[in-house]
Structure 1
Amino acid sequence: MATPEKMGLRERKKHLTRETIADAALALSVERGLANVTLDEIANLAFVSARTVSNYFSCKEEAVARAGAHDLLELVDAFTLRPADEPPMDALRQVLIDFAASLSPERLRVERQKLEVEQEYPALHPYQVAQYDELEASLREAIAARTHTNGDTDVYPWIAAAAAVSAISSSIRLWARTESGPEALPELIGAAFDQIAGGLRPPSSAEDGAHASHGPPHRSAAAPA
């Protein structure tokens, strides 16, 4: 998927409309509760018609889940721009940490709001997951190209993409459940990748528990030759 900077005027307008509708859906859901929000109300707040809302989203849940998520697929482009000789998991780690560190306070607030809405309305969860499924599929293709593997049949791109997406999605959800500041999210993502690199060894003592939180020292993860 092209980033906004690479889109033509028509595509940028559609991108902006999609973002505006999604932001309106989330704002109304936070204010009134998702069950009390209608497509007409979303359309009015977004200054579009109800038909336009339906053209972009299948339902209000999908619109809410989309809020703030437009930048996720930019991670794929960032990954492809990493040095060719960098191990794929190291590249993914740095891309995701840089992404988390770049998020604005408003963007981070959106993540907390979506989690709050989802906790009250579990029907939102599948649409939240779908955002990350889309990212995983795109990353899988990029990883396969980078490692000269087959994204349809080889294990490595599937596992690497799934691990990376799990690291960021789990870290965001864990961060959103706490009162931690913005600096905690990149740290959580780094710790998640450290745990992956360390084989996800479970804690067996208080000392190990500390390692489970912060992860073992970072080491490179080799890719297929």
Structure 2
Amino acid sequence: MTQTLPADDRPELGLRELKKQMTRTAIADSALRLAVEHGLDNVTIHRIAGLAFVSPRTFSNYFSCKEEAVVAAGTHELVAVVAAVADRPTAEGPWEALRAALSEFTGSRSAEQLHSMVQKLELEQQYPSLRPYESWFWSHLEDELRTVVAERTGSDADTQLYPWLVAASAVAGIRSAIRLWAASGDGAAGLAARVEDALDQLSSGLRAPTP
């Protein structure tokens, strides 16, 4: 069973990895912007690459198609939430650690970032071709979180049910909270409240609401 390294012992991102991350983000953000402005059907890989100041070949090093690039916009921030859970004090349980990491995530969103989240959700509803890539991302996030939960609880991510249940329910809760928030038109406080409510309900056993 693998062990989580203490936060101080984890390697920092090297310059090369940081550049790759920045390039990936630039491509994804450009893809989202063009899809919002012109419609996904009118966006080409060449246009995305041009806006991101990279070559089409560089684009293909990061993404297989424009749909994958659009869905990738903003996802690194949610992946960072999982890393933040892993870095929380070991005395915290998985729900407590997840709550703290998500509170930092929702509290640090700028108005522009929140607007981009809503725009991407609207595109995913409008264009079914985006949905397989969206589903893949959430599945990947669930896998990453399951590994972290297993490490924090001393359980096995492959054979024991607990980390599977926590990761699956947490990701479903986060995803549902974001969708409901986007439909509500609320700002950052609304997103934080939705996510907090989702975690409250899940960690308390998901009791049925009182009529």
TM-score normalised according to structure 1 size: 0.84
Structure 2 residue 107 is the aligned partner of structure 1 residue 101: yes
Give the residue type in structure 2 aligned to 1:59: C
Name the residue aligned to 2:38. 32
Where does 1:2-151 land on structure 2 (aligned, <5 Å)? 6-151=12-157
Contact 2:36/2:119 (8 A) holds in 1: yes
Q: Is the 8 A contact 1:98 1:186 kept in 2?
A: no
Q: How many residues align?
A: 201
Q: Is the Cα contact below 8 Å between 1:140 and 1:157 reproduced in 2? A: yes
Unaligned runs of 5+ in 2: 1-10
Which residue identity does 1:23 align to in structure 2? Answer: D
Amino acid at match of 2:49: A
Partners of 1:65 and 1:127 within 8 A in 2: yes
Shift of 1:94: 2.2
Is 1:161 the counterpart of 2:167? The answer is yes
Structure 2 equivalent of residue 190 of structure 1: 196
- 1:174-189 mapped onto 2 (5 Å cutoff): 174-189=180-195
Q: CA deviation at 1:202?
A: 2.9
Per-residue deviation at 1:204?
Answer: 5.0
CA contact (8 A) 1:96 1:168 kept: no
Q: Show structure 1 runs of 5+ residues with no match.
A: 206-225
- The structural deviation recorded for 1:73 is 1.7
- Write the distance in 1 (CA, Å) between the matches of 2:31 and 2:193: 30
Q: Which residue of 2 aligns with 1:199?
A: 205
- Per the alignment, in what secondary structure is the counterpart of residue 83 of structure 1? coil
5-14 vs 134-143, which moves further: 5-14
Superposition TM-score, scaled by structure 2 size: 0.90
**2: distance between equivalents of 1:97 and 1:129?**
24
Q: Is contact 2:106–2:191 with CA below 8 Å preserved after alignment?
A: yes
How many Å apart are 1:6 and its aligned residue?
A: 2.4
Q: Which aligned segments of 4 or more residues in structure 1 are displaced greater than 3 angstroms?
A: none
Which deviations, in whole Å up to 9, do the C-alpha atoms of 1:54-111 show, x marking residues without a partner? 1110110100011111122211221122222222112212221221111121211111
One-letter amino acid of the structure 2 residue matched with residue 158 of structure 1: W
CA distance in structure 1 between the aligned counterparts of 2:210 and 2:85, rounded to whole angstroms: 35
What is the identity, as a one-letter code, of the residue corresponding to 1:162?
Answer: A
Kept in 2: contact 1:76–1:138 (CA 8 A): yes
Question: What is the CA–CA distance in structure 2 between the aligned matches of 1:150 and 1:167, rounded to whole Å?
Answer: 23
Deviation at 1:174, TM superposition (A): 1.3
| Range with bigger deviation, 179-188 or 91-100 | 91-100
CA distance in 2, matches of 1:55, 1:81: 30
Q: Which moved more, 1:148-157 or 1:66-75?
A: 66-75
Q: Equivalents in 2 of 1:86, 1:9: separation in Å?
A: 32
Q: CA deviation at 1:198?
A: 3.2
